Structure 1
């Protein structure tokens, strides 16, 4: 092979290598991916692509009303609790009666969380309220505050305090009949209370 042929072959080889390098460096990048020059490292923009779609799918919308700074609709994680929802609404106002709702109660998409204040009457469908058992007007033995228990006919501040103390000392009531273990509650009193209380 003559010198001219060797020269032509060398030129073609250099051209092929150069083209390979060019297309290797300039190949299209996926959306949200940026090469960092001189490092061989790419930067993936956060919040893009499939992960962002999955994050949106795990969010829920909850209606917050009552004694919060920003009442209205809020977006929270699907695993959020009532306390998280209140924070998302800007937090509770100073006169909010947080002891009357269950801050640890889970929430679901489309529910309403009512943060009560002075004079607020919680409805049975309010997430995290004592009457969240689905039975209108019933008071939850395991969630109600002393003040809420006093709303039950025939229950005064002393008996209400005994019920709460028993719950704190022995754990949640497992059945309504457990009220018989509370000092001051007998069979007749229990029969009266059955119409006004519920579990959990």
Structure 2
């Protein structure tokens, strides 16, 4: 009799605690797809959420700037998080399926305006607002970039020929001889439209 009473008490306690345990918050369909630029604990990989990363979006998007996206986001997801591409964006020139990394940049190109290397001057730079497109430049055009000599320019072209287009400027880190410091010096002079 005592065993039966203990069994009933244990089952009742199990049902009580099972029904009253905290439940995760419900998300309404109206909140799905909303992108917040303000980081929360969940954005940073909190216990209830997926890991999120911050990416810089520039060029022909509705809201250029910093966006938070899921850690497994692709270039297309980042563009959507920035409000979508403008009507004159050249989306065919970028790989929308390419993965993005935390701290990375996605540049959405606009209409072509002529040569990416300027008007034939000796060097290009940030003041001219013309950066060299590393996906189209020849090794001779790359040599005009401050900090790139003939050897690194040739390595960039060879890497591109062997592996395909660069999706973000940070992909230059895969080229032998280009490290973080060299890349930092090149950022103002090169682009991946």
TM-score w.r.t. structure 2 length? Answer: 0.41
Q: Which has the higher contact order (CA 8 A, sep 6+)?
A: 2
Higher helix share: 1
> Max radius of gyration: which structure?
1
TM-score w.r.t. structure 1 length? Answer: 0.40
